[in-house]
Structure formats: C-alpha cells, structure tokens
A = this chain, B = another copy of it.
Amino acid sequence: MSKQELPVVSADGAGPGTAERCCPTLLAAPLDEDQAAELAPVFKALGDPVRLRLLSMIASRAGGEVCVCDLTPAFALSQPTISHHLKLLRQAGLIAAERRGTWVHYRLLPAATDRLAAVLTRPAPDPAATS
C-alpha cells in the first residue's frame, strides 16, 4: 500500500535527522535542483483546502489514527474523491494508510511535517557573524 509513496521521509515517519541531512531551511541558502524537486510535491500536496483539512483531521486525532469512515462525513464530497485526496497525501509521504477489515485507517507521518516546518524556519543567527 505504501509502494507509491515518495522516499521523502523514513517509513516509520520518525527518522532522526531528516531535516539536518537535507536543506535545514530554504531561508538560509538557495535550494539546489534536487532539493527543490524533492520538496515541491510535498508542498503541492498541501496546496488544496480539502487535503489540508483531511491532514489536520488525521494529525489532530487523539490516538493518532482515523478511519476513512470518520473523515468522509465532514465533506460534501464523494467517497472516491476523498480517497483520491488521501492517496495524494499518502504519495507525498505525509500520511500512512492501513486497511483493517472493511476500512482504511490513516495516520500522520510526523517526520514529513517536521521537515517542512524546518525548511520554512528562519535560520539561527550565525555566531561567526557576531564575533
């Protein structure tokens, strides 16, 4: 089920040092082409109000997991449309999905949002610049 996910984050969603390995912040130095090509699809996945709402519903759920059956009623959209948006979030590495019985359950992969937050955070002042 996760075969289509981009290798943006570790599979467990908690890989240490992801942000440090690549592009600590786009505010500190120009991104190279590879970094930009890797980050852009994740931001693009967030560039839709339905997907943002779905992600926030999944991320903020106590217990960390949401059944798709609890997501669909919040939207005036068909189940296939919701599933399509969830697939795009999953392909961007932002959420993971697990089928249990009839329903698919979704959970946040926090390493992905952590990485985006780090990319958008202003760099700490350079100590060398003040010495």
Contacts and interface: CB of A to CB of B under 8 A. Distances in A.
Interface of A: 26-33, 36-37, 39-41, 43-53, 55-57, 59-60, 74, 108, 110, 113-114, 116-117, 120-122
A113 B27 contact: yes
A47 B43 contact: yes
B40 A46 contact: yes
Contacts of A31: 52-53, 56
Classify the secondary structure of A's interface with B. helix
Contacts of A30: 53, 56-57, 60, 74
Given A36-B52, A117-B121, 8 more contacts: A27-B56, A30-B60, A32-B53, A33-B53, A36-B49, A40-B46, A40-B48, A113-B120
